[in-house]
Amino acid sequence: MTTEFPRVLIDRFRRRVDYVRLSVTDRCDFRCVYCMAEDMTFVPKKHVLTLEEIQEVASAFVELGVGKIRLTGGEPLVRNNILSLIEQLGQLPGLDELVITSNGSQLQRMAGSLRELGVKRINISLDSLQPRRFRHLTRYGNLDQVIAGIDAAIEARFERIRLNAVILKGRNEDEVLDLVNFALQRHIDIAFIEEMPLGLIDEHNRALSFCSSEELRQIIAREHLLAPLGDPQSQEGPARYFSIANGPTRIGFISPHSHNFCHLCNRVRVTAEGRLLLCLGNEHSADLRAVLRAPGYSRDKLKQAIVNAMAIKPERHHFDLDETPDIVRFMNTTGG
Ligand code: SAM
Ligand code: SF4
């Protein structure tokens, strides 16, 4: 017997959840200083969801009315056979938007296939245009390779490409205008993200290196006229966007500290281990892997677990850079 589920997920604060970020791996070929510790322990492979399990989770969410899935990680494009998963997801009836966040390292060879398989939009991280600095911030990254990946994505004609930059005081804040100009030249968007206290790091002091979106906006405004684009309700997610120089490039600011956007939250995350995280800044979660691997598994049981989890989605996060983080999981584990 199958259960009838409404095609809509609503939490107890009456927010509709229609967007899921799926982390397909916690592994990565970079070790960005704000995202990971240098010496990381990754999840044992047997604990990571198989591609079939990820597909099952995605199908359950779509049947519950989720229209947008973002693949992330870790670096999603280093997961073995990721293209076969993307091909399956690209054909899911009811899924309007399949998008991906990547560090760009594999895009030179993969951008064309991603586009062909139905990925509509892509976010690519880029924190510096100086090769040595880029290497320091990512610990292993090669800037030329990433820029070639960005250009391959432009060539592949995604509907939208957005660069993501995390700016740290004293490290790369002097490159904000260069990064904006890089995006302008290529007619792509760029978003500046405030660093979040996810995971314990000792490479820098997150409170001391914090750069608020407002500081960055003022730096950009010295050279460019920024015009706000619409109200946040009509925009995608937490980024507040501005147009610039009447061109197609949009400048976004994602400001979890200086501009709380929790009341608009429409998303949940699934970690590579199959933990359904209801909030980036809280530990409330449901173990979907346990459901997937239990005897007598059925899609309805998975859907019921997801519906039940809506009752524990927290109202908001309480990030505080001056406190020892309550959230010990790193961003790569979280599925940023
Ligand atoms: N590896 C891919 C990438 O770098 O784009 C996808 C995963 S990564 C965790 C997703 C985004 O989270 C990246 O844009 C990265 O800059 C951002 N990020 C990682 N750690 C962060 C932190 N502690 N605070 C804010 N943003 C962070
Ligand atoms: Fe890897 Fe992305 Fe984290 Fe950098 S931000 S370490 S590229 S997962």
| Domains detected in the chain | 9-334 (3.20.20.70)
Report yes or no: 105 and 75 within 8 Å, Cβ to Cβ.
yes
DSSP 10: B
Ligand nearest to the CA of 32: 2
Report yes or no: 328 and 199 within 8 Å, Cβ to Cβ.
yes
pLDDT of residue 295: 98
pLDDT of residue 237: 66
pLDDT of residue 324: 53
Distance CA 134, CA 71 (A): 24
Which mutation among 125, 128, 216, 327 tests ligand 1's pocket best, with the greatest number of atoms within 8 A of CB?
A: 125
Q: Is the pLDDT of residue 316 over 50?
A: yes
Measured from CB, residues less than 6 Å from any atom of ligand 2 are 28, 30-32, 35-36, 73-75, 103, 125, 138, 331-332
Name the more confident of 164 and 335: 164
Q: Is the pLDDT of residue 174 over 90?
A: yes
3-state secondary structure of 19: strand
**Taking the model in full, what pTM does it have?**
0.93
pLDDT of residue 38: 87
Within 13 A of 231's CA, how many CA atoms are on the CB side? 2
Which mutation among 331, 332, 333, 334 tests ligand 1's pocket best, with the greatest number of atoms within 8 A of CB?
A: 331
Distance CA 230, CA 245 (A): 16
Kindly indicate the confidence band of residue 48, based on its pLDDT and cuts at 50, 70 and 90: very high
29 CA from centroid of ligand 2 (Å): 8
Q: Is the pLDDT of residue 267 over 90?
A: yes
pLDDT of residue 54: 98
The percentage of residues in the chain with a pLDDT greater than 70, rounded to a whole number, is 91
Measured from CB, residues less than 6 Å from any atom of ligand 1 are 28, 34-35, 72-73, 75, 101-103, 125, 164, 166, 193, 195-196, 198, 331-332, 336
201 CA from centroid of ligand 2 (Å): 14
**Helical axes 107-116 vs 82-90, angle rounded to 10°:** 20
Percent helix, percent strand, percent coil in the chain, to nearest 5:
35, 15, 50
Torsion of CA 279, 283, 284, 286, to 10 degrees: 100
Distance CA 240, CA 124 (A): 18
Minimum-distance ligand 1 atom for the alpha carbon of 35: 20
Kindly indicate the confidence band of residue 7, based on its pLDDT and cuts at 50, 70 and 90: very high
Q: pLDDT tens across 112-155, in order?
A: 999 999 999 999 999 999 999 999 999 999 999 999 999 999 99
Q: pLDDT tens across 13-47, in order?
A: 999 999 999 999 999 999 999 999 888 889 999 99
Which mutation among 27, 36, 38, 254 tests ligand 2's pocket best, with the greatest number of atoms within 8 A of CB?
A: 36
Report yes or no: 166 and 34 within 8 Å, Cβ to Cβ.
yes
Which mutation among 164, 169, 270 tests ligand 1's pocket best, with the greatest number of atoms within 8 A of CB?
A: 164
What number of other Cβ atoms are within 10 A of residue 308's Cβ? 10
Q: pLDDT tens across 204-235, in order?
A: 888 888 999 999 999 999 999 999 997 654 45
Instruction: Kindly list the distances between the CA atom of residue 33 and the CA atoms of 13, 37, 41, 261, 332, in Å, as whole numbers in the listed order.
Output: 35, 7, 15, 25, 12
Q: What is the mean pLDDT of the chain?
A: 91
pLDDT of residue 225: 93
pLDDT of residue 276: 97
Segment 61-75 shows an average pLDDT of 97
Structure tokens at 89: 């997801």
Q: Is the pLDDT of residue 315 over 90?
A: no
- Tell me the DSSP string of 158-209: -SEEEEEEE--TTTTGGGHHHHHHHHHHHT-EEEEE-----S---SS-TTTT
Instruction: Kindly list the distances between the CA atom of residue 51 and the CA atoms of 56, 60, 119, 297, 318, in Å, as whole numbers in the listed order.
Output: 9, 14, 17, 17, 33
Q: Is the pLDDT of residue 335 over 90?
A: no
